[in-house]
Amino acid sequence: MKALTHLARLLAVTLVVTLLAPASAAPPEGTPPAPKDAPPAKIEVKSPHVRLLPPTAPNTGAFMVIENHGDADVKLVRASNPVSRATELHTHLDEGGVKKMRQVPFILVPAGGQALLQPGGFHVMLIGLERPLREDEVIPLTLGFDDGTELVVEAPVKRPVAPAHAPK
């Protein structure tokens, strides 16, 4: 009788292990590992990058997509980084056919929507670079939102697809 109980227990353990196995298996290809017990991020920043410019350029821009998975609008209200003297939020305005950069107090990320920071539109401006940036080096950008969220995103320095200054 005792041996039978032991066998039953063994079987039960085996069953539990078998049932648990799929859950502990590696996630499907391309799925980023989710931190354990972390609530889903309300604000998510995708493909952040800093534009690589010639070494003499005093300023450059950072671009990204900011997604808001929450049910309230949020505003990006400040940014900072360790390689430039100042960091501003900018947009481009069309003034009589000429695109001009203007500082803005915030960049709105609508509830359930996204803000596109891209060349010719909103961007984070790195003003007064303290040294030339290298291609592919990673700049930590700190982003502050009006709901108190502060995120640090890793933005690699990338060569623009279309050169900002075409060679002469």
Give the residue, chosen from 57, 65, 77, 101, that forms a contact with Cu ion under the rule CB under 5 A.
101
136 touches 154 (CB < 8 A): no
Q: Is 75 helix (H, G, I), strand (E, B) or coil?
A: strand
Tokens of 64: 């990204």
Which of these segments, 3-11, 13-21, 76-84, 117-125, binds Cu ion (CB under 5 A)? Answer: 117-125
Q: Does 104 bind Cu ion (CB under 5 A)?
A: no
The single residue among 50, 115, 125, 157 that binds Cu ion, judged by CB under 5 A, is: 125
Q: Which residue is nearest to Cu ion, using beta carbons?
A: 90
Q: Is 90 in the site for Cu ion (CB under 5 A)?
A: yes
51 binds Cu ion (CB under 5 A): no
Nearer to Cu ion, 101 or 108 (CB): 101
Name the 3-class secondary structure at 70. Answer: coil
Residue 104 is classified by DSSP as -
Region binding Cu ion by CB under 5 A among candidate stretches 4-12, 74-82, 97-105, 160-168: 97-105
Q: Does 153 bind Cu ion (CB under 5 A)?
A: no
Cβ–Cβ under 8 Å, residues 125 and 90: yes
| C-alpha to C-alpha distance for 20 and 35, rounded to whole angstroms | 19
CB 64 within 8 A of CB 123: no
Residues binding Cu ion (CB under 5 A): 90, 101, 125
